[in-house]
Structure 1
Amino acid sequence: MHYIRDVPNGENYDRKWLVYSVSLDKVFCFCCKKFAKKYLVGLLVDEGINDWHNISDRFKSHELSKQHIESVASLVELEKRLKLKLTIDASLQEQVNQEKKHWKQVLERILAIVKRLGKNNLAFRGDCEKLYENNNGIFLQMIELLAEFDFTMQEHVHRILKASTKRWKVFIDHVPGLTVKTLSGSRWEIRVESVKAIRFQAPEIKEALNYLKNSKEDAKTKSDDETLSMYNILNFEFLLDMVIWYDLLCVVNNARKILQSKDMVAIKELKFLLSFLQKYREIGFEEAMIEATKIASKMEVEPVSMEK
């Protein structure tokens, strides 16, 4: 009921500025939180209010304050400018809208392909997982076919190929020994090789991402690279998970190969795998922490978990 304001002439108005935090069990003023000057900050802006017995009086007092009136006016002005596309970032906003429209159309087409393949119980993947390669599966073949006649998918495929070529060149220059991994092996071997590149060359990959982030690429590419650099590879949790994942993948992959043989060696290897996993639970995590800390030191990453 507090979201409705009763005025003396009998009319009712929604308090659109009022927002409630479920986790904090408090209410805040959205307008003032976004537009009020910091030295004028009050409880509804900074700490929030949950004094439910006196909250009506608090709201009335806040609504009459100069700070709140100016903040509401700023929000109304911003809404008008956004509708008329008169904001400073109008061109950027238009790019964002176009990008959203593009991805919506791409997803609609991909979902249509997925539904059709699923309806007919057809396999999606092939021996190769790259566009315009032989035996790359029905799904990618359908993407290629659609790109021949549909402009949206044609543009999307062009983006993928263009970005992949440029980024790959940068990674080759910054990460010594990095090569294209073949997909002819087993799924497990592919996983091991993929994680191995990051496990042992994380500092070099960080430099490559920084180069891409500061290059003259389009805003979308730079944003993706910045996200990968700042929130993934520069995240200590990511580095720790990477070390653990690589350790587990290696031993499981080795065991998988041996278990394919039907002899006593396979039984021995299975026992070794179980022993390794049990031992890893006891001391493996500490050893992984040490390795991750060494990598973090080289990358100038603080060895603490990031809050999410």
Structure 2
Amino acid sequence: MPPTRKYVSGYTKRLRKRKIKELTQSQRGALDRFIVRESHATIDENIFNEQEQDDVEELQDIENNMDECVGNAEQNENDDNENADIDHHNEDVEDVDIENHNNENVTDLFNEEPSQSIPLDIYDPRNWDNIDPKFCDLLVEEGPVRDLLIGKGPKGHLHRHFSSPFYTRYLPNGEQHDRDWLMYSKDLNNVFCFCCKLFKKGPQKSQLANEGFKDWIHLSGRLKEHERSIEHINHMSTWIDFRIRLQKNKTIDGVQNRIKKEKEHWRNLLKRLISIVKYLGKYSLAFRGSNEKIHDINNGNFMGQVEMIAEWDPVMKEHVRRMDDKETHYHYLSHKIQNELILLLAFELKSAIIKKIEEAKYFSVILDCTPDASNQEQMSLIVRCVDVSTNPIKVEEFFLEFFIVNDTTGQGLFEELQTVLQKLKLDIDNVRGQGYDNGSNMSGKYQGVQRKLLDVNPRALYTPCGCHSLNLTLCDIANSCGKAKDFFGIIKRIYTLFANSTKRWKILKDNVKHLTLKSLSVTRWESCIESVRAIRFQAADLREALLQLAESDGDSKITSEPNSLATYELGNFEFLLGMVIWYYILGAVNVVSKNLQAEDMLIDVAIDKVKGSITFFEKYRENGFTEAMCTAKEIATDMGIDPVFPENRKIRRKKTF
């Protein structure tokens, strides 16, 4: 027997239609929550994602409930309808599939990953659980958004609704107070306590601080009960205090910002003060003046630099303004701060030098002693090492410090050297060279510093100071010849004659236009070349200046001196010849001396220079006199002097026997 066609009853059809209609009504306006109001701020995308997931789960629950209702209704049908018309049933099911397809499109819209973050309304209380602190500050400052002109809200199941009179509290004495903490959500049709909802910590008993309250019949009593609760009073106090501090910018963030700005101000100020100290130290300028007050006369180079920078730099200008207005007593300009900055910079510089020495490992020491202005014996320490941090690698000298010594014997100086190296954390066993002058306490064969260091470290090769040795050689050369002594004595007399009077110096400048006379160097003989050069190339002009001085000065004692120098010294061919010879000798020695004093001097180069100077003297001894004679004759001819040597008068003694 073929199956009979079964028809669904009318009740089942009406039930199915009603369920579908309810589902459609429940989803109406679901997309409105994704529309952004222009007047509202936004919150983080994470909150939107959580809300989106809740909406998707809600739609899925509704679909499942609808399917269960429809399935139960069909299961309760009479068994006689089992063979109902299949085509008619398929048409009904097709209608349900269309609705389900629409719901799936909505779900797909929820699940679709947006190309950019979709902002939500920060004034919606549902979004306050994980609100950003910046938006929380905005809410506290602006307060809740309330529509005071609202007439009647949507009616509830008891036909009651929210109205604007609930925003006002009526006291028994007739006074009226605004409930500025009360806010109404049109979307949720609930009322909330603004401060309790925003500042709550953990679960709250009152619905006004959680999901909201919409029992309009009991709302009035619930509001009175809530505004008298301790939690509400505490939250109101927090809200009001926070709002006042935000308006006056006295929040913790505001204080932190001011502290940060103040730190930045002092940091920038110290950078400028350090730059001033570096500049003055680099050029060896004095720091302090006769006073140490800003804007005073003669307050020193340091204060002067501060005043100069304050004319255009906003940081220094603000600091000077605070000092002038007595807003601060900490100006960081005293001599103690200056000395402290000098010591800090010296420590950093010394640390950088020691780091280079440690990287090179092996080094040489150079010591020299000299009395200072306070008559204390000072010893300078210079370290010479290979600087591996540069490209290309090169040998450099670093000055480390001065230190006072009381015992100037070889043992005392060596002990002082050991103490300084230990303080600088430099191993004395890594010393590979030592260089001092030719003093007995430094270079002594048995009791000198070099001997004491060799006893401790035999690999510390000793090399005497080349410049000092060269200077001693020149001293011996000059002192061994009486003519040389007379020559340099004449140069000193000429310089002293003009330098002791401004009037005489004016006569010298009028006649000698180019090179200025220089005094003889006491410590460096090779530096005497500057004194000889000024006379060598201006002998004729200098002689005219002496003759003019002899005629203009009325003092007979002073008149005889320039006249004697012009006639018997500069007018003497022997003096001119000595001048030419010493100019060549000092010129050759000066080149060697400069090379020996160079910071990047290498020992093989120094040896070649010394050997070259020896070769120069050997050749000059053979051929130099003839060349010097030719040059001296040319100078004598230009000056109108006979190029002949003066003859010494022979004293004839009568023979008695």
> If the TM-score is normalised by the length of the shorter chain, which range does it land in?
0.3 to 0.5
TM-score by length of 2: 0.22
Question: Higher relative contact order at CA 8 Å, sep ≥6: structure 1 or structure 2?
Answer: 1
The structure with the largest alpha-carbon Rg is: 2
TM-score by length of 1: 0.45
